[in-house]
Amino acid sequence: MNFQKTQQLSEEIKKAKSVALFLGKDYDEKDALAREVLGEVFHLNNIPVYFFPETPKDTKDKWSSILPSRQKDGLVYHTLIHIPKTSFSIKDIGYENDDKFFTLNLGTNGGHIGKKDVFFESRSTEVDFAFYFGEENSGEEVGIFTNKEKTLSIKKENGSVTEGVSKIIQAIKTKTLTDTTIPTLLYASLLLETNNLDEKTKPDLLILAGNLLKMGADKNKINNIIGKKQPILFPQLLGRALARTQTNEDLKSTWTFVSKSDLEKTGSIAAEISIFQQILSSVRDYLPSQPVNVIFWQNKENEIWGLVSPRENQEDFLKKISLLMTGKVENGNYHIGPFPNFSGAEIRTQEALKEIL
């Protein structure tokens, strides 16, 4: 998906009076859910939105507990009726409207108008923007016309479909959402797209997953639908951790914070130190430019523990930090703690890094 194009058109999209959302021939379930998300966003911003084709009935039935219940906007089709002026002179036009027919009453000079005298033309309805999920096709096939410059494709080969929709929402800066419909649908689409956030899921998608959960995505409803009794816990914890990772350029380091609540909500309250070592490894992959990575977590006794992990010159770094902080070496990392709170742990570790770096 061309996100730069979306940003350039963001102001125009917000002012749109109509939008069309298409499913391509190669669409799958995640595309249908992601399209519902974008449709709901436009609906909440009072922009008429048209779906082509309609979401399949089996998909609607399966996801009915989280799909919006609103009535979808109906497209207005335009049909032109041409009557040759060389044969007929129109004197008056009227109409009748009853339970069975809408009838035009045309008064003419030159005789009655017959079937062979009339020409019908179907005119494509123009919408301000069109979004395609899956293979892009011609909207004119269903009577819709859109300027090519205002046609946006969301294709998997250009990135995650779910992330693409999320970036569109971000680019157009929509109104604040007051319910959990949007994050729940996006989270469901993301789970389908990543096979329940498996080990191949990119760090930025795990961050997106964590953010959607913070926004109120109802994972219990989703798990009930997809038949997953227990969610995969580590990816959810990693997503939350990456969402709370920040960079300190002065100390050439990243800082990750995992609260007791994070551990409880992901069923990881009894997590071993190896889990936090895995998180640090993922942080390195996501932010490879920083030579030092730090993570703090809060255990069930509310104690704060941490790991300080150097990327290079490990032996020299670990020797220096051991002279400044009480702790022990764990698989190339320095294990520190306990601290009474996150603030104290962060300040104490920053003081040590200032001495080393």
For each of the chain's 357 residues, which pLDDT tens digit applies?
455 666 666 777 778 888 888 887 667 788 889 999 998 888 888 888 888 888 888 788 888 889 887 766 666 677 888 888 888 888 888 888 988 888 888 888 878 888 888 888 777 677 888 888 866 654 445 455 556 667 777 765 457 888 888 888 877 766 545 568 889 999 999 988 887 787 567 888 888 888 888 888 998 888 888 764 444 467 788 888 988 999 999 999 999 999 999 998 887 877 778 789 888 888 887 777 789 999 999 998 999 999 999 988 888 999 999 999 999 988 788 999 999 999 999 999 999 999 998
Computed on alpha carbons and rounded to an integer, the radius of gyration of the chain in Å comes to 29
Show me where the domains of the chain are located. 3-75+126-226, 84-117, 244-356
How far apart (Å, rounded) are the C-alpha atoms in residues 188 and 217? 9
Asked if domains 3-75+126-226 and 244-356 share a fold, the reply is no
DSSP state at residue 83: -
Residue 18, helix vs strand vs coil: coil
Residue 227 has a pLDDT of 65
Structure tokens at 139: 């909207």
Residue 231 has a pLDDT of 47
Report helix angle 273-286 to 203-214, nearest 10. Answer: 110
Distance from the Cα of residue 41 to its chain's centroid: 11
Q: Tell me the C-alpha to C-alpha distance, in Å, between residue 73 and each of 48, 50, 51, 207.
A: 6, 6, 8, 34
Buried b (16+ CB within 10 A) or exposed e, 51-73: bbeebeeebeebbeebbbeeeeb
Structure tokens at 37: 């998300």
DSSP state at residue 77: P
- Topology of domain 3-75+126-226 in CATH is inorganic pyrophosphatase (n-terminal core) (3.90.1640)
Structure tokens at 42: 């436009």
How far apart (Å, rounded) are the C-alpha atoms in residues 33 and 173? 21
Question: Which DSSP string corresponds to 173-187?
Answer: TPPPP-SSHHHHHHH
Structure tokens at 298: 């809060």
Contacts 24+ apart (CB under 8 A), 258-262: 258/295, 258/296, 258/297, 258/298, 259/297, 259/298, 260/298, 260/299, 260/300, 260/302, 262/237
Name the strands in the sheet holding 129-133, side by side, starting at the edge strand that comes first in the sequence: 49-52, 19-23, 129-133, 151-154
How far apart (Å, rounded) are the C-alpha atoms in residues 348 and 354? 10
The class of domain 244-356 in CATH terms is alpha beta
Residue 140 has a pLDDT of 47
Position of tokens 């919006």?
A: 68
Which residue type occupies 238? Answer: L
Which residue type occupies 103? Answer: T
Structure tokens at 302: 């509310």
Residue 326 has a pLDDT of 93
Q: How many CB atoms lie within 10 A of CB 30?
A: 20
Residue 73 has a pLDDT of 64
Shortest CA distance to 194 belongs to which of 156, 167, 155, 251? 156
Buried b (16+ CB within 10 A) or exposed e, 195-214: ebbeeebebebbbbbbbbbe
